[in-house]
Amino acid sequence: MSTDDQARVTVTGWDAQTWEPTALRTFSVPAAAVDDSGYFTQMADSPLADLCSNAFDEGGVNDDDPRAIPESSLRQLFDKGYTRMAVVLMDRETEATRVAYVDTSGKVTELSGEGAEDFADAPHEENAVFSGDGSAVWFTEFDEGTVRIASRSVSGDHARTEQDSGDLNNANARLALVGDSARGVHGADVRISPDGRKALAHIDGYHIVDLPQRSAVLSPGMDGSYISPDINCYGWVDKVRALCGPDNSTDDPERQNSFWTLDTSGLAGVDEVPDSAMGKPIIPATDRENTVQAISPDGKQMIFASLQGTRLTYYLSSTAPGVIPKKISEPGAEEALSAGYVLEWR
């Protein structure tokens, strides 16, 4: 929130070697996307609310803790060039929710009709995200325990196209998309593998799920494997290996606050991850609290935040085992990595 009480989202590009800013995009959040107190409405699910979840308190932006790599839906709030941002608008009288997008000039383009003609039901479209090619905004609709995945074209008459439906099993689920032509995946904390064949997601605990070649609502009965609650997975280093670390504590002293890769190629249907699937520790065990914030496009490097007492520092590291991480000392790095989520490393 700025001094004029206008909610804005700012996306900044940084050179990952010099840590100099290279691009800036600012999006004004429409008044219909926040409630009367200025908070993002809780009546409509939206990755935008997740993106800005700790940006509202009495003192302004609250970024005391480093933010880990976000789930896929947060990047997909924006088109490829970060020129448009998907939003959910709410009519305070009818409680209808509709998908739209806003560009950097502040223009809002609504994609849904009024829904009040011919005594029609009010629409309840939520979880707005952009397809990879920017041609459509995808969203979800809920009806008595069922979630429907649908999309609206950003051109023409914005006709609605329904993609798939399923039983809602997690109230915290969001919509993520796979591929440029796009298919939807509805689930909690979803991170899509580079080839679009697998996803990390919370389904009664962390799972690795084999994705179907269509839109899907993730459920406990899907093909996949359960991961120990003691393991936290941040994302993917290639199409079969996920980057993981301990959740809170670990019984293995060599892995204390370290990271490792998890080979998912042979995990289908297993109830417990075998030791053979877990790679060796990447960084030395430590009493520091470490949080992965970004993985390079080729999966060979990562940036992580390291908290020791109250001192927060940032490191660049290979994702290969047994490395000594290099402290990022450039002046702009702290500003870049402490201001919010790293949405993408190109």
Q: For the chain, what is the radius of gyration of the CA atoms?
A: 20
DSSP label of 34: B
The tokens describing 202, both together, are 């919370």
pLDDT of residue 63: 53
Euclidean distance between CA atoms 214 and 225, whole angstroms = 20
Instruction: Choose the weakest-confidence range: 225-229, 251-255, 261-265, 338-342.
Output: 225-229
Vertex 235, ends 335 and 65: CA angle to 5°? 35
Report which of residues 221 and 129 the model is more confident about: 129
Reported pTM: 0.89
Question: Tens of pLDDT along 173-197?
Answer: 899 999 877 899 999 899 999 999 9
Q: If you write DSSP's letter for every residue of 148-185 in order, what string do you get?
A: EEEEEESSTT--EEEEEEEE---TT-EEEEETTTTEEE
Mean pLDDT, the chain, whole residue set: 85
pLDDT of amino acid 176? 94
Bridge partners for 166 per DSSP: 147
What domains sit in the chain, N to C, each tagged with a CATH number? 8-338 (2.140.10)
In this predicted structure, what is the pLDDT of residue 180? Answer: 74
The residue-averaged pLDDT of 276-293 equals 92
When pLDDT is averaged across residues 195-209 and rounded to a whole number, the result is: 85
For 257: left if phi > 0, alpha if psi spans -120 to 50, otherwise beta; the answer is left
Most confident range, picked from 68-72, 122-126, 271-275: 68-72
Judging by beta carbons within 10 Å of its beta carbon (0-12, 13-18, 19+), is residue 131 exposed, middle or buried? Answer: buried
- What pLDDT shows up at residue 172? 79
Lowest mean pLDDT among 8-12, 99-103, 153-157, 295-299: 153-157
Question: Given this model, what pLDDT does residue 64 score?
Answer: 61
Query: Could you give the CA distance from residue 257 to residue 277 in angstroms, rounded to a whole number?
Result: 19
Which candidate, 192, 171, 169, 267, places its Cα nearest to that of 223? 267
pLDDT at 269: 66
Output phi, psi for 122, to 5 deg: -70, 140
Summarize pLDDT for 83-105 with one digit per residue, the tens: 999 999 988 888 889 999 999 99
